[in-house]
Amino acid sequence: MLGEYPFAEGTFKLCWKAKYLDGFRRGETAIIKQFKEGCVYEEYYFNEEMIIIGVTEKIAKAFNKAKILGGDRLVRVSRPVIATSGNTGAKALVEPYIDMFEKFNSNSGWVNTDCDESGDAMQALSHFSYHESDGEYVLCDLQGGAYRDEFVLTDPIVLTKKGNLGPGDLGKEGMKSFFQKHQCNRYCKSHWITPSGGGRSRISSKKGTAYDLGSDPSRNPLSRWYS
């Protein structure tokens, strides 16, 4: 049963706490997230959200494979499921509750300087995403839980050159803001590319391709990151 009021609110979503009633997570705390306004009924927004999650998972996999954080510490992405209310027809994203929640950076260049080592790791992940995509996008708005063996991330944003991958995609200006405020740290590598530098990524991408989702998200060129 949801409470009368959400316990947290972001720019685009409202969040409620709930309980899993069955399955292997039975009894655990869940988070139910709904888009604000009319978006709660539109399937497009939820498909777009899953595309962003898929992109994040692919980058996290490459980041982990490169052992950027050293040892066995990994980055994991919380993948929500899409649920539909039987009463109202409204859709929502449901995922496990993340304990000790922190926000590491934003989609406008803000960095949480109180996080220290965890903040450095997540800033490096954002920089890494730009390098791996050969400058096509920046993974940001990183938030979640920082634990001894892993980071668990939720609700990321992908900044693209075209600025049309979701309402949080600030496009080239957002990418520019990130690098204006980003200072490479202990985890960033000297060969990683920046907007003012050269270099090539280990994962190639097609130049000049428009990020046009249209009505079918499977047509999005970014689908290679989540297929």
What are the chain's domains? Answer: 8-220 (3.20.200.10)
Which pLDDT tens digit goes with each residue over 41-72? Answer: 788 889 999 999 999 999 999 999 999 999 88
* pLDDT at 9 exceeding the cut of 50: yes
Burial label for 219, CB within 10 Å (0-12, 13-18, 19+), is: exposed
Q: Check residue 218 and give its pLDDT.
A: 40
Cα(25)–Cα(57) distance, rounded to whole angstroms?
22
Distances (CA, A) of 77 to 1, 53, 146, 154: 26, 7, 12, 6
Cα(12)–Cα(37) distance, rounded to whole angstroms?
9
Cα(170)–Cα(4) distance, rounded to whole angstroms?
33
Question: In which residue are the tokens 């190639």 written?
Answer: 204
Which pLDDT tens digit goes with each residue over 98-142? Answer: 999 999 999 999 999 998 899 999 999 999 999 999 999 999 999
* DSSP 8-state class, residue 11: S
Whether the CB-CB separation of 105 and 140 falls below 8 Å is answered with: yes
pTM: 0.83
The SS3 assignment for 83 reads: strand
* DSSP 8-state class, residue 100: S
* pLDDT at 79 exceeding the cut of 80: yes
